[in-house]
A and B are shown apart, each in its own frame.
Chain A
Amino acid sequence: MKQPPQKKDGPPVASSVAASERGVDRPVEKERKKDLPPPRMQFDDESRVDKAKRRSLLNQPEARNRVELFRHLPPHKNGSQLPYLESKFFELHEMHPSVYKVGLQYLTGDTSGGNARCIAMLQAFQEAIRDYSTPPEKTLNRDLTSKIGGFVSFLIECRPLSMSMGNAIRFLKSRIARLPLTLSESEAKAALCSDIDRFINEKIVLADKVILRHAATKIRDGDVLLTYGSSCVVEMILLYAHEIGKQFRVVVVDSRPMLEGQKQLRRLVAKGLSCTYTQLNAISYVMHEVTRVFLGASSIFSNGTVYSRVGTASVAMVAHAFHVPVLVCCEAYKFHERVQLDSICFNELGDPDAVSKVPGREDVNYLDNLTDKQKENLQLLNLKYDATPSDYISVIVTDYGMIPPTSVPVIVREYRKEYLLI
């Protein structure tokens, strides 16, 4: 199964050395080819879908009522697969149990959010690496890389990768590839585990602390801050600013079907912040009194487009219309060299039934009693992400500082080489 964005085969150092032997213009071509992200799995191509089905572990759900515009995206796999997977737990010998566990957590939605998913995956890989032993007649580099590839394909089946996870996998594979061949197996494994720890520490934990410091300078007393959905970074910023004594109010905007804002609301109120809660539709009503908007992101593309939870684009647009500054808080490891113009070319589809059913409100379940013939005409669309154009964003707060959206490709180019050379 073809991997989405991040797989790069072969050590880049070796290839460029080989290329320089052949001429000057070749390395340029190879570099350019490597820079282009590899094409994604095409789900509207019948032959490829069939091939993937034969190799996959999960039963693919029947494509019922798929929205035409999104036929190129994988359909949602919901938690009903869970019993089937649990029964196969002892049958999959090539799958490490911690990776399996993480996959199941993704499938059911217990682990969600870019940072949480990335950390869970990396820690599972650490466990797998510790338990790994090189089979005879194989080198550590190649075999471990292919094993990691197998793990990744399983995780993708459970839930498509987020950008943060993709970048982390790319880092790990490049670290494996750059291991000196002179190292013994235990030394190599220890080096890899410590690299993973460093990655998590530097790119996520410390980066978050730096972002907190930067963002807290943008909060003044008397501010009314608006946040959308549930972003761990934004929540940390609000709690930190409250701790250092700033006086402000928070407006938590939430939307269906995930209603993530409710969990964040509960945590904020428990810490003593004064909060207002509303639904996305009422954003024009509350925006009059809002002074700053803080948003999280799943990834930021090279053209400055922010790829984040669906509805973020609407929030940013309305804030822009009311002249309220929008601050996006995102760690730099989530930046990606892809570009995207709209939310349709690449997205993730959620459970369509979550749209038609409203939990807790029996009076509004109008779509319960439809005949099959009528259901043919009805399609349900549950998008998970959307792309916010860069002109709605005022500033992006990263661990490299506060940058405008136009500086994202610079960070990608300059600092991406950094973790190849740690």
Chain B
Amino acid sequence: MPDTQALVNDFISKLKKRKIEGSQATAKQTAELLRSVISQTRVPYTNQAAALIQSVKAVGERLIAANPVELAVGNVVRRVLHIIREEDLSLTTAAMAGLNLSAVSDDEDDADRDNQPVLSAAAIAAASRSTLRPPSLQTLLEDVPDSAAIPHTSSSGGDSEGKSKSADKSSRSRKLKHDVIEAVNELIQDISTCHEQIAEQAVEHIHQNEVILTLGSSRTVLEFLCAAKEKKRSFRVFVSEGAPRYQGHLLAKELVMRGLQTTLITDSAVFAMISRVNMVIVGAHAVMANGGVIAPVGLNMVALAAQKHAVPFVVLAGSHKLCPLYPHHPEVLLNELRSPSELLDFGEFSDCLDFGSGIGAPLLHVVNPTFDYVQPKLVSLFITDTGGHNPSYIGEMYRLFVVSACGEGMNFKSEIMRTNCIAEGNFVKSSIRMRGINFFGKLEDRKSQFFCGCGEM
């Protein structure tokens, strides 16, 4: 597929050169690129999902390596992988439901998968029923029949998949790709409209005569504030300029053009003014699994000041910014240093740069980081397109997922890492586990199911 390769290479070079600004644009372009990769992938008749996953993984790894700091790329890749697995599962269960329960094992397909026992029709029927319906409290309490059913269902799933393949090979192959591409289109739609959904919640959080503080510029924050203004709330905004990029000036201009009372302050005045502020609303670059926020530089200082003055610190983040990784040393590892020329004019300080110490190292270093890490305990509320969340809830979802998988003797992370070489059965096994947890965690809607796509690929 030479044209997709060209697209992929072009995108990778843009990522490497940091030409794409902002996580929303990055996420959207990644999703579109993966959509074209999927549509161009030639899938065999068997193990379709594996082939799609393989190609997406290959491209995804290269994309993530191009800009490791842009976490939205990895998030989107994981969501697309999850979409593939989900669609595959739903097709399988649909096939099983529509299939006659008189099971005849298909010997010709046995060689393709692990050794699994051939089951009676009753067992297959029971298994199919249990996969289609969520487990009830009674089956939970009677733990044994349920766990015994599940490995069998995987094999029966495999069997029935073999049957369904033999029954209707060509239409199924087209259907998986089609479904996946539709779902990826939905994902792109979600990414594009995340601002509107977050902005809809603005009226619940902003009251009359409120004073709001923000730093730098974020499109989500701008739409949030404008939505509140549309609903006739009157409030004032203090915008901190956010040196050295001075995006606060841009936000102040936008707000002033829409008729909001805005005061532009320097970053040094944040501590002085925050005692007179009711709420701090900021955007984020990425949200980590523990609820910590990778935010534009300066926001840790604002968060500490807000905590000192008991001012709520609200972070707006679209769901493409939620990342399943835990941060370790995020100030260094998930940070980028920009050019020092934004701080010091080289012409003015070139004589200082000539001075050297005994070992020849220059005496003057200039540090210009792009991001700051804000600890989860400093954040009062996350507002995403699914609603408002506590920082612990964000981490809780990932932890809930991983623990449940472990509890049944399987680590989902290792599961995903092995998907490359394991046959169909385990896909279905892991998908069912996800489905079970979806029920308990009440993550029925598609938007929240990205949590299941976590872990290393």
Contacts and interface: CB of A to CB of B under 8 A. Distances in A.
B439 interface: no
B344 A317 contact: no
A367 B248 CA distance: 10
Given A277-B366, A317-B305, A364 B268 contact: no
A250 to B, nearest CB: 10
B252 A378 contact: yes
A27 to B, nearest CB: 39
Interface string A368-381: 00100011011111
Interface in B333-383: 335, 342-345, 348-349, 352, 355, 357, 361, 363-369, 372-373
B159 interface: no
A318 B298 CA distance: 11
Interface string B218-253: 000000000000000000000001111110011011
Interface of B: prevailing SS: mixed
Contacts of A374: 256-257
B260 interface: yes
B367 A276 contact: yes
A278 to B, nearest CB: 4
B293 interface: no
Contacts of B266: 255-257, 310-311, 355, 381-383
A284 B331 contact: yes
Contacts of A279: 243-244, 267, 343, 368
Contact of B271 (A269, A284, A317): A317
A270 interface: yes
B269 interface: yes
Contacts of A69: 276
Contact of A282 (B253, B297, B349): B297
Interface in B61-81: none
Contact of A284 (B256, B259, B364, B372): B372
B365 A314 contact: no
Nearest to B367: A278
A317 B249 contact: no
A357 to B, nearest CB: 10
A360 B343 CA distance: 10
A401 to B, nearest CB: 29
Q: Give the contact-size bracket for chain B.
A: 35 or more
Contact of A280 (B246, B268, B331, B357): B268
A377 B256 contact: yes
A90 interface: no
A272 B270 contact: no
Given A366-B249, A370-B256, A378-B252, A310 B355 contact: no
B264 A383 contact: no
A84 B309 CA distance: 45
B308 A317 contact: yes
A190 interface: no
A284 B257 CA distance: 33
A367 B252 contact: yes
A277 B366 CA distance: 5
B301 A317 contact: yes
B233 to A, nearest CB: 15
B249 A364 contact: yes
A269 B368 contact: no
B260 A377 contact: yes
Interface of B: 241-246, 249-250, 252-253, 255-257, 259-273, 275-276, 297-298, 300-301, 304-305, 308, 331, 335, 342-345, 348-349, 352, 355, 357, 361, 363-369, 372-373
6 contacts: A256-B266, A256-B268, A284-B373, A311-B271, A380-B263, A386-B269
8 smallest beta-carbon distances between A and B, as pairs: A311-B268, A281-B298, A343-B272, A284-B300, A364-B246, A313-B271, A255-B268, A386-B272
Given A262-B349, A279-B244, A365-B249, 13 more contacts: A265-B364, A269-B355, A279-B243, A283-B301, A310-B268, A310-B272, A311-B268, A318-B300, A318-B301, A364-B245, A366-B246, A378-B262, A381-B269
